[in-house]
Amino acid sequence: MNMELSRRHFLKGAGAGLAGTTVGAFGFGDIEAAYAASIRPFKLANLTETRNTCPYCSVACGIVMYSKGDLKKGEKADIVHIEGDADHPTNRGTLCPKGSALLDFVHSETRLKYPMIRKPGSNKFERATWDVALDRIARLMKDDRDQNFIAKNNDGTTVNRWVTTGFLAASATTNETAFITYKAVRSAGMLVFDNQARV
Amino acid sequence: MADSEVAPGDGIHPGDPVKVDRYTAGARINHWITAASLVLLAISGLALFHPSLFFLTALFGGGSWTRVIHPWLGVILFFGFFGLFLRFWKLNLWKREDGTWMAKIRDVIAGHDENLPELGKYNAGQKMVFWSMSALILVLITSGIVIWDQYFGPYFTVTQKRVAVLVHAGAAVAAICVWIVHVYAAIWVRGTISAMTRGQVTGGWAWRHHRKWLRDLVTRH
Amino acid sequence: MYPPLPNPTVTPSAPKLSDKNLMRRSASTVPQGESMQQVAKLIDTSKCIGCKACQTACLEWNNLREEVGVNAGSYTNPHDLTTASWTLMRFTEWVNPETQDLEWLIRKDGCMHCADPGCLKACPSPGAIVQYTNGIVDFVKDNCIGCGYCVKGCPFNIPRISKAEGKAYKCSLCSDRVAVGQGPACAKACPTQAIVFGPKEDMKKHAEGRIKDLKSRGYKNAGLYDPPGVGGTHVMYVLHHADKPQIYAGLPNNPVISPLVEVWKGAVKYAGLAAIGAVAALGFLHHAVSGPNRVSREDEEAAKRLAEGKS
Amino acid sequence: MTNSWTDIKNTDLVVIMGGNAAEAHPCGFKWVTEAKANRGAKLIVVDPRYTRSASVADLYAPIRQGTDIAFLLGVINYCIKNDKVQWEYVKAFTSAPYVVKAGFKYEDGLFDGYDETKRDYNRSNWDLEIGPDGNLVVDETLQNPRCVWNMMKAHVAEYTPEMVSRICGTPKDKFLKVCEMIAATSAKDKVMTSMYALGWTQHSKGSQNIRGMAMLQLLLGNIGVRGGGMNALRGHSNIQGLTDIGLMSNLIPGYMTIPTEREATFDTYMSTRGFKPLRPGQMSFFQNYKKFFVSFQKAMWASAATAENNWAYDYLPKLDVPAYDVLRAFELMHQGKMNGYICQGFNPLMSFPNRKKMTAALSKLKYLITMDPLETETARFWENHGEYNDVDPTKIQTEVIQLPSTCFAEDEGALVNSGRWLQWHWAGATPPGEAKLDSWIMAQIHLRLKALYQKEGGAFAEPITNLHWPYKDPNDPSPEELAKELNGYVIETVTDPNDPTKIVLEKGKQVVGFGVLRDDGKTACGNWIYAGSFNEAGNNMARRDNSDVDDTGAFSKWAFSWPANRRILYNRASADVNGKAWDPSRKLIEWDGTKWAGYDVPDIAPGAKPDVVGPFIMNPEGTARFFTRGLMRDGPFPVHYEPFESPVANAVAPKVRGNPAARVFRGDMEQFGDAKEFPYAATSYRLTEHFHFWTKHVQPNAVVQPEFFVEISEQLAQEKGVKSGGWVRVWSKRGSIKAKAVVTKRIVPLICDGKPIHIVGIPLHWGFTGAAKKGFGPNSLTPYVGDANIETPEYKAFLVDIESISGPVA
């Protein structure tokens, strides 16, 4: 992505240049001046910017994420602020009440951190390793598929379908995730396959 | 005696000079607690009243502490003064001679006590100090509560608080003035202060300023 | 569309707003600061969809934590401004008596940044409230003593006092953002640009255009809310019914600093000290002139006689 | 959306009906406010509730939920009666002049061929007359009583303003004002845009609601033009992408379809696709179907898909039913016919109708797997949360595996917005704990399943073991690798048939666009409509050049818009039969005598002569359809059907309940309530402060809308003794909920068929996890029935009763 390019064009485009100049001119104070007693030091100084897209509705507003640490440099990155991307043609830096609070989605107390398994009849989730969870899933799927796979229907037509396990695809994953999901699900012959388009 | 000018604890001791008990230890302690709180209130209040006096908040550990302490001092003053009120209200009731005394106010100011009527334990001036203080402290505690946001914030409207804050300031100024008069009188009329320190005054003092009271004391013995 | 506010930059820049730009300072005087362009936030109630983006953007930018409340039969949440909610969407369902049509009036409440700030006038603590020459009125936490005088001084009932901290809070117009050449978080976020931020003059011009549009749509009383009673404000409203601000959740028709507060912080302040001084002076004067009132030997004798006359 | 968010600024009239853009899409709604502020555009909102959109509208008209078709056909009737028609457009670009097959008829709310036991139609008569030359029979004069125009005219005639008002409860004067404003856009230089969403889709006749408006827009000549179009405001950030990529039971990426078991062979499969043109000289786009299909199969199975095995046709499962949509899935689950279910995101327990049925169904599963960045009610459906989830864990034998996935901030890739823009985003945060990318999780599931099959063998393992898996790190395919697969690439160098030395496509290169895809197995393409998104020019989805020539709102250099970076679909229709723009100020593309050119990528062959080739090339007729032939299960024209749960009888077809062609499972019909028992018309909706069931986990959103509530009119509140802010109980035949009451002027009783109908509004967003107060959702009450064509549940119109209670709930 080329931030400079987008900025420059926007000056042509929506006249953000005006904004640039006028807004920039709000303070005429001595450039050397220290912060006034009342004013917090600007909290985004020296952070890393990353362009992203709001994960909620399909307006797909551009957002800028500000993080401590740079993922591209292989560092641990922790988001400290998110706001609308003024360079984005659709939202022009604006965000709705959900988008404006994205930071607390990223840091939500109910974010999931570990694989959990709830045994039949149990009243609690128990933490599991990824290996245990994934192997268990593969096993459950294969056993069901092998038992209930329909190769031919009653008329002897080859149908190769598996309809005793279903898959509900997400609505906020990327196209790339969607495609690898499609490959994995379809190749198994699954037909009970749907997404959130309807609700 | 119903109209006796003598309060419990008042007494007379012959000798040279004659000594007269004017205030009991209890009364004196009560007075000084009240006095102290009043002084502190005045200082903390003035500190928040006028920017030029804000530096006084330093005495209380800064602005926030001043804001926290001031109302509590008010509570102490209120109960303190209430104690004094119970002790002194009776002898501060207005009497005929008080009018005469007022009429001769020029002699009062000039110090010509000989031209004044014989007075009981308190003269009209002292009575006015007493009653105005009673009134002012009542006003101050009431308006003070209205603007004591920490505990009573939700119970009053902003307008009520605005009135209260104005009244509070006015009453405080008045109270301070009365207080000055009170203190000055005590200094100007020599021999008075011992009444609140040792609890005694000389017979001469009583003869000069409160002869009626002195006579009652004598006749009581 | 109105030029969008730029993205914040991460490259450190010297603040453009400093103590050199102070215009007023509570309970103290400051040299007239270097002048700056007057700024203003324009809130167009006719464009506002009440989405509350301004509220969440404010909470996030200022690291505020409001508590989760309850529904009290209205969309206004929280139910009032608090020490954590510096801005609040107030919803009013109003039936226009002329058209009999329902109008859902939604007003973003918050500090108006008065040119003549009642909070600053009332504040007893030097430097607890400051006003910059660009119009921003800001609270300085470190100097605040939490006395609540600002609440009494404010004609719009905006400041809120934290019982826990004993400090006053309100919208700072994102002074930290403005200091580095950006606009307030709420203005940046506002989806429909019902909130725009810029030089006050530009805002007034922009408002004219909006008012023209509204009049063309039949809002004959559309107008700008920039109340002269407080010297104008640096947060202004475009109202479809500028003739009756009151219907917008009690926006004052013509706000002024309460006369009570004016007297308290004016006359009384000076008269009071004068009175005290005068009484004290009289005392000294009187003492100097008529000297102390002493008990004479004769008085003592007389007292002695009176006492012995009995025994 | 046929157009884009930024294009809305070009409109003269916005009609928000079947949606609530200001509330659900605030930043997109910005372009409505821009159109209003800059070009004096007007905004009309038609909704059962006075919404946030209505609060900034020039005209608000109330309507009873589930009566949109009556309203829309009423407007069409008004336009025809008052000759408010863009005639040139209608005659040249629509099916108006075609003649309908003899035998087709409509009466008493039913079309011919209805079978009540099947709740389905025999649609053989629903078609157009085809002449001996294989082309359609056309009557340019529109005199033939059986031409589509006259059939439509007759069909809508009964929807008079009086009838509309009687059915919809919309005051007649308000309805006529709406008609007037809409009809004005029949002028060539006036356009209207339609913004809709779930308010139209979530009905048992959802597809026909949208048809109604599409027909109106065609009548007015507003399709294919700047500031016009049919703009479906998609709900989720990438639901458009997931649909494009065909993550549905019956789809193959790019809107190709999964074979049914009646299509035993590849040839029978192809015979019903790849339509031939029905007009002389017309181009029919889907003649390319085989190229897209074969390229897809190659992308899936590479060398295992050969001409010999019909490109691995048998690797694809064959459908025995029209679709395994979610309603069917949970019905099967409820019948105990399913063992496993995998939820990648999503929250069925709160999202699907009849929550009791959901809980029962999930409890019958052997295993449930969830992947989500956040807690969901579904993952904890077995956990007791008092009355909010009153279950006994010991009685639920379902094994649940909950996998923590990453959120937007931590992953990279493309999302497709409502305007079909594929926009790339970059990761900027480290995932919390052990959370993993969904792509990694899916790779792991596939690889481990594959390993088991390789080790143990088992049922038809080939499609799994042969699945093309060309990734540098097989365990963790990168977004670029997958994006390149979706775009398509050349497997074998393709040379010019006439000159073998001339290389057309070089092996290993990314295809430039879908135009070069081949049906001989030499190209592979994951999704033909995405071809061009990541070609040799690089990742076009990551383009950030926001310049916009002449401020048309196209932003053609920003990201990539499918298909072929086209910003406005059917844009050829923005010009008249001679290829000149209807409105010069809205020029999109024009015919310069030899080719089409302009601001947008032409939605037609660049050299296609304007007077020969029709603009709607996805149809073999090349024109847009007022009459859908046999494509829709419930009729070629929309008909007003009441919701299955309606407070009144159907005024135009008293005998018909609900949509006669809508699927109702055994037992569910008995679960429908009637107006005697449940007198109030309820509807469900979203609030701007929240997004589905996600933001209740986001503290600031929980703050600005903390607690579940229902909205009722002051009149109903009075009748029921309900106080605003007090507690109420609302129940339907299927369940009961408790909520705070918001008593409002924004909802008023509507007079339908002479009696007042009270509306109860029930927002969703609350549950028993997250930062907000615990609460219920409308799905505890909603009926288990979907749209006749695409099975979207009927969430917008159902019956309830309500009473005041002391509360509060535990």
Q: What is the dihedral of CA D14, D415, D372, D296, to 10 degrees?
A: 120
Interface contacts (A, D; CB < 8 Å) = 523
How far is it, in rounded angstroms, from Cα D750 to Cα D647? 11
Looking at beta carbons, which residues of chain C come within 8 Å of B49?
124, 269, 272
C145 chain-B contacts, CB cut-off 8 A: 57, 62-64, 66-67
Nearest residue to C40 (alpha-carbon basis) of C197, C218, C206, C240:
C197
Q: Which pLDDT tens digits describe chain B residue by residue (221 residues)?
A: 446 777 888 888 888 888 888 899 999 999 999 999 999 999 999 999 999 999 999 999 999 999 999 999 999 999 999 999 998 888 888 888 888 888 888 888 888 888 888 888 888 889 999 999 999 999 999 999 999 998 998 999 999 999 999 999 999 999 999 999 999 989 898 888 888 899 889 888 888 888 888 888 888 76
Interface touch D705/C77, C-beta < 8 Å: yes
- E strand or H helix that includes residue C200: helix C200-216
User: Active-site residue numbers of B?
Assistant: 182
Q: Which of C174, C173, C172, C128 is nearest to C150 (CA)?
A: C128
- Residue C311 predicted with pLDDT over 60: no
SS3 state of residue D68: helix
**C238: pLDDT strictly greater than 90:** yes
In 3D, which of D178, D225, D197, D168 has the Cα closest to residue D79? D178
Residue of chain C nearest A47, judged by CA positions: C10
Task: Identify the band that residue C310 occupies on the pLDDT scale cut at 50, 70 and 90.
Answer: low
User: Which structure tokens are listed for C180?
Assistant: 């580095």
Residue of C nearest to A104 (CA): C60
Cβ–Cβ of B180/C161 closer than 8 Å?
Answer: no
The 10 Å Cβ neighbour count of residue D189 is: 12
The sign one gets for the Cα dihedral D669, D671, D672, D677 is positive
Number of domains observed in the structure of chain C: 2
Q: Give residues 130 to 149 of A whose Cβ lies within 8 Å of C.
A: none
Delimiting residues of CATH 2.40.40.20 domain(s) in chain D: 669-805
What does the pLDDT average to over C209-221?
96
Q: Which residues pair with D805 in a beta bridge?
A: D727
C274 touches chain B (CB under 8 A): no
Which residue does chain C place closest to A102, by CA atoms?
A: C60
- Indicate the SS3 state at residue B218: helix
Question: Which residue of A4, A39, A48, A91 is the best one to mutate when testing the C interface, meaning the one whose CB has the most C CBs within 10 A?
Answer: A39
**Integer Cα distance of D741 and B85 in angstroms:** 56
List the beta bridge partners of residue C156: none
Residues of C in contact with A54 (CB under 8 A): none
Are C133 and C267 members of one domain?
A: no
SS3 (DSSP) at D485: helix
* pTM summary value: 0.93
The verdict on C264 touching B (C-beta cutoff 8 Å) is yes
Q: Does any CB of chain D come closer than 8 Å to the CB of residue C51?
A: yes
Q: Does C165 touch chain A (CB under 8 A)?
A: no
Q: Is D407 left (phi over 0), alpha (psi -120 to 50) or beta?
A: beta
State the pLDDT at residue C18: 81
What is the residue range of C165's domain?
19-39+49-192
Tell me whether C81 touches chain A (CB under 8 Å): no
**What distance in Å separates residue C61's CA from the closest CA in chain A?**
8
Question: Phi first, then psi: what are they for C122, rounded to 5°?
Answer: -80, -20
In-domain check, residue C13: no
Place of tokens 């909802």: D747
Query: Is C99 inside a domain boundary?
Result: yes
Name the 3-class secondary structure at D139.
coil
Q: Which stretch of DSSP H or E encloses residue D59?
A: strand D59-62
| Subunit contact C14:A31, Cβ cutoff 8 A | yes
3-state helix, strand, coil in chain A (%, to 5): 35, 20, 45
Q: What is the pLDDT of residues C89-105, one digit of tens each?
A: 999 999 999 999 999 99
Q: What is the pLDDT of residue B207?
A: 87
Among the partner residues A45, A46, A84, nearest to C188 by beta-carbon distance: A84
Nearest CA in chain C to A97: C53
B11 contacts on C by Cβ (under 8 Å):
none
Short-list B213, B203, B199, B195, CA closest to B4: B213
Do β-strands A62-68 and A48-53 pair in parallel, antiparallel, or remain unpaired?
A: antiparallel
**Which of residues A17 and D333 earns the better pLDDT score?**
D333
**Calpha distance B23→B141 (Å, rounded):** 27
Radius of gyration of chain A (CA): 25
Residues of C in contact with A48 (CB under 8 A): 10
Touching chains A and B? (3+ Cβ pairs < 8 A): no
How many residues are recorded in chain A? Answer: 199
User: What CA–CA distance (Å, rounded) separates D356 from D782?
Assistant: 10
The 3-state DSSP class for residue C81 equals coil
Contact: D725, C103; criterion CB under 8 Å: no
Q: CA-nearest residue of chain B to C27?
A: B51
**DSSP assignment letter at D319:** B
How far is Cα C197 from Cα C203, in angstroms, rounded to an integer? Answer: 7
Residues 6+ apart with CB under 8 A from B101: B108, B116, B117, B119, B123, B124, B125
Q: Where does D669-805 sit in CATH, by number?
A: 2.40.40.20
Say what the pLDDT of residue D284 is.
82
Q: Do A26 and C21 touch (CB under 8 A)?
A: no
For residue D519, report the phi and psi dihedrals to the nearest 5 degrees.
-105, 15
Helix or strand or coil: residue D437?
Answer: coil
Which residue carries 């308190």 as its tokens? Answer: B122
Same domain, C72 and C186: yes
The Cα C38–Cα D87 span in angstroms is 56
Do residues D216 and D38 make contact, with C-beta atoms less than 8 angstroms apart? no
Tokens standing for residue C270: 């000076």
Asked whether the beta carbons of B162 and C258 are under 8 A apart, the reply is yes
Using the beta-carbon criterion (under 8 Å), do D786 and A133 form an inter-chain contact?
Answer: no
Residues of D in contact with A109 (CB under 8 A): 697, 699, 771
What's the token pair of residue D164?
A: 């509309």
Residue C60: both structure tokens together: 């996030």
- One domain for residues C283 and C144: no
C56 touches chain D (CB under 8 A): yes
Closest in A121, A138, A196 to D239, CB measured: A196
Give the C:D interface size as CB pairs under 8 Å: 126
Nearest to D49 by CA among C294, B56, C104: C104
Task: Give me the pLDDT at residue B18, please.
Answer: 85
- The CATH number of the domain holding residue C29 is 3.30.70.20
Q: What is the pLDDT of residues C142-179, one digit of tens each?
A: 999 999 999 999 999 999 999 899 999 999 999 999 99
User: Coil, helix or strand for C157?
Assistant: coil
Residue with tokens 């056309």: D138
Domain ranges of chain A: 1-29, 47-111, 113-139, 149-198
The sign of the torsion formed by the CA atoms of B147, B149, B152, B157 equals: positive
Alpha carbon distance, N-terminus to C-terminus of chain C: 107
A83-117 pLDDT tens trace: 999 999 999 999 999 999 999 999 999 999 999 99
Closest CA to D518 of D711, D307, D225: D307
- D17: tokens are 């009906």
Q: Which of C192, C218, C238 is the last residue of a domain?
A: C192
What are the mean pLDDT values of chain D's consecutive 10-residue runs (810 residues total)? Answer: 95 98 97 95 98 97 98 98 98 97 95 95 96 93 96 98 98 98 97 97 97 98 96 93 96 96 95 86 88 98 97 97 95 97 95 96 98 97 96 97 97 96 97 97 98 97 98 98 98 90 93 94 97 97 95 96 95 96 96 95 94 92 95 96 97 95 93 95 97 97 98 98 97 96 98 96 97 96 95 96 80
Q: Does A1 touch chain C (CB under 8 A)?
A: no
For residue A26, pLDDT beyond 50: no
What CATH number should be reported for the domain whose range is D5-235+622-631?
3.40.228.10
Are residues C143 and B41 in contact, defined by beta-carbon separation less than 8 angstroms? no
Position A33 pLDDT exceeds 60: no
CA D622 and chain centroid, separation: 23
Considering C149, C172, C192, which residue would you say is the last residue of a domain? C192
Q: In the structure, do chain A and chain D come into contact, i.e. share 3 or more CB pairs under 8 Å? A: yes
Residues C26, C133 within the same domain: yes
CB contact under 8 A, A101 and D700: yes
CA distances from A64 to A51, B190, C297 (A): 5, 81, 94
User: What element of type H or E holds D212?
Assistant: helix D206-219
- The predicted model gives C221-242 an average pLDDT of 97
* ipTM of model: 0.93
Q: Write down which residue in C148, C176, C192 finishes a domain.
A: C192
**Chain C nearest-CA residue for D61:** C101
* CA-based nearest residue to D526, from D564, D490, D486: D486
- pLDDT at position D285: 85
Residue C180 distance to chain A (closest CA, Å): 8
Q: Which residue has the tokens 């987008």?
A: A6
Model pLDDT for residues C69-78, shown as the tens digit of each residue: 999 999 999 9
- Measured between alpha carbons, how far is A189 from A159 in angstroms, rounded to an integer? 9
Task: Give the distance from residue A85's alpha carbon to the nearest chain D alpha carbon, in angstroms.
Answer: 11
- The answer for B 66-125 residues in CB contact with C (under 8 A) is 66-68, 109-111, 113
- Partner-chain residue, chosen from B50, B191, B221, that has the shortest CB–CB distance to C269: B50
**C154 backbone φψ class: left, alpha, beta (φ>0; ψ -120 to 50):** beta
How would CATH label the architecture of A47-111?
Single Sheet (2.20)
Angle at which helix B158-188 crosses helix C269-290, to 10 degrees, equals: 10
Q: Where are the beta strands (DSSP E) in A39-118?
A: 48-53, 62-68, 78-84, 116-118
C176 in contact with chain D, both atoms CB, cutoff 8 A:
no
Cβ–Cβ < 8 Å for D532, D512: yes
Element (H, E) at D47: strand D42-47
pLDDT of amino acid B215: 85
Inside any domain, residue C283: yes
Name the phi and psi angles at C30, rounded to 5: -130, 150
Cα angle at B172 between B168 and B176, to 5 degrees? 175
Chains contacting chain D through 3 or more C-beta pairs under 8 A: A, C
Distances in whole angstroms, Cα of residue D557 to Cα of each of D416, D533, D627: 16, 12, 37
Query: C311 at the B interface (CB within 8 A)?
Result: yes
Q: By the 8 A CB rule, do D740 and D726 touch?
A: yes
